[in-house]
């Protein structure tokens, strides 16, 4: 497996959210401030790396009939560990992400990568795949939360830099962007952009 290819796939060509259309729930629900978006992205990345490594290690030991159940238990284990560690050492993040931390268990990205990649590839490749798929997801949550926070709340980086840097005076921002509607709209536009960019690239390669 080519490490560079895994990186490019995870971040762009096979981005879990924009191209594979996985893990949209958490992407929309928590991306209201940079702090949340970044925290969620990094938590998912950490869990994804761990679960990919363990599942890749165990891939010959788990009978295929019960593999999904086994994967879910392993993933749930890692999610709970992250949840407990966040509660103990980063209570602010754990408070603001709330129920969405345990819900990482059913984030389709993690089970999807376990099934599509880790169960077929070696440990090192699976770890890299977990890292870059996770970073691809983090990229999307960060971009979404920056856009939504700016348009919906008028600030940048709330939670990371105190109350955030106010870029639009209070009273002007469209609160709507923080509501679910804003999530659907922002994600729709981002996916449209990625479709456009990927098509451009295809045309360019076709022309060569």
46 near another protein (CB under 8 A): no
**Residue 72 to residues 66, 135, 193, Cα–Cα distance (Å):** 10, 21, 33
Q: Figure out which of the listed residues 4, 60, 88, 170 binds another protein, where binding follows CB under 8 A.
A: 88
Element (DSSP H or E) covering residue 155: strand 155-156
What is the C-alpha to C-alpha distance for residues 42 and 141, in angstroms, rounded to an integer?
10
How, if at all, do strands 155-156 and 165-166 pair? antiparallel
The least CB distance from residue 6 to another protein, in Å, is 24
Kindly tell me which of 29 and 123 has the beta carbon lying closer to another protein: 29
The least CB distance from residue 22 to another protein, in Å, is 7
What is the C-alpha to C-alpha distance for residues 168 and 153, in angstroms, rounded to an integer?
8
The least CB distance from residue 70 to another protein, in Å, is 5
Give the HSE-up count for residue 7: Cα atoms under 13 Å, Cβ half-sphere: 3
32 near another protein (CB under 8 A): yes
Binding-site size for another protein (CB under 8 A) equals 71
The least CB distance from residue 79 to another protein, in Å, is 6
Q: In this chain, which stretch among 5-13, 43-51, 107-115, 135-143 interacts with another protein, using CB under 8 A?
A: 107-115
Element (DSSP H or E) covering residue 187: helix 180-207
**Residue 18 to residues 14, 48, 76, 124, Cα–Cα distance (Å):** 8, 17, 25, 25
The least CB distance from residue 132 to another protein, in Å, is 21
Q: In this chain, which stretch among 5-13, 41-49, 91-99, 133-141 interacts with another protein, using CB under 8 A?
A: 91-99
Q: Scan residues 48-87 and list those touching another protein (CB under 8 A).
A: 58, 61-63, 65-66, 68-70, 72-74, 76-77, 79-81, 83-85, 87
Q: Scan residues 143-202 and list those touching another protein (CB under 8 A).
A: 149, 152-153, 158-159, 175-176, 178-185, 187-189, 191-193, 195-196, 199
Q: How many residues does the chain have?
A: 208
What is the C-alpha end-to-end distance of the chain, expressed in Å? 26
């Amino acid at each position: 497996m080519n490490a560079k290819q895994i990186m490019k796939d995870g971040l762009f060509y096979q981005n879990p959210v924009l191209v594979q259309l996985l893990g949209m729930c958490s992407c929309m629900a928590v991306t209201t401030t940079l702090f949340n978006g970044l925290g969620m992205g990094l938590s998912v990345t950490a869990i994804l790396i761990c679960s990919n490594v363990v599942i890749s290690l165990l891939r010959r030991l788990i009978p295929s009939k019960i593999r999904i159940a086994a994967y879910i238990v392993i993933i749930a284990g890692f999610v709970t560990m992250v949840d407990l560690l966040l509660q103990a050492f980063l209570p602010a993040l754990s408070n603001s992400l709330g129920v969405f931390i345990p819900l990482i268990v059913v984030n389709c990205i993690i089970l999807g990568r376990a099934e599509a990649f880790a169960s077929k590839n070696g440990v090192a490749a699976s770890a890299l795949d977990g890292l870059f798929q996770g970073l691809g997801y983090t990229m999307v949550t960060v971009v979404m939360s920056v856009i939504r926070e700016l348009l919906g709340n008028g600030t940048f980086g709330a939670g990371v830099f105190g109350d955030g840097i106010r870029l639009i005076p209070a009273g002007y921002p469209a609160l709507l962007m923080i509501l679910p509607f804003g999530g659907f709209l922002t994600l729709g536009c981002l996916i449209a952009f990625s479709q456009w960019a990927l098509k451009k690239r295809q045309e360019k390669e076709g022309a060569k």
